[in-house]
Amino acid sequence: MKVLKGITVLVVWISITNLTAQNNPLTGKWEAEYEENNEKSYVTYEFRKENRKLICYTTYFKDDKGQGEEYESLAIKDILFEGGKGNGKFMLAYEGKHYEVRANLTLRDSNTLVISYSAWGYSDSETWKRLK
């Protein structure tokens, strides 16, 4: 009987974990606006559930004229998120090299996400808007 109770508890825990990941408020597509040399560009990110973990990918780039291309690469991994706040490892490219930087994620409201990080003595934050 103890084995049956243990299995029941495990099944309930797995079900709650899966439901939480599926209903995570970050899941879906987001867009960030960047400006460099007086030119704006836009990047689309997508939070997905893979192997019971939440992962974020870069999925699309476009310029301010609307010309763009699909591009998929890992953007944030090892995401821990609860109660509107969390953290993860943000992937950054700097001088041709790729780095993992610890980032804080804060959901301001259901459509606004702030990603904050610090690297090489420089701190920055990005505001991402949910795409509908």
pLDDT in tens, 86-117: 999 999 888 889 999 999 999 999 999 999 99
Task: Write out pLDDT tens, residues 7-56.
Answer: 433 333 333 333 344 578 999 999 999 999 999 999 999 999 999 999 99
Domain boundaries, the chain: 2-130
Q: Who contacts 107 (Cβ-Cβ below 8 Å, separation ≥6)?
A: 25, 26, 84, 85, 113
Task: Write out pLDDT tens, residues 66-89.
Answer: 899 999 999 999 999 999 999 999
CATH topology of domain 2-130: Lipocalin (2.40.128)
Place of tokens 């879906």: 28
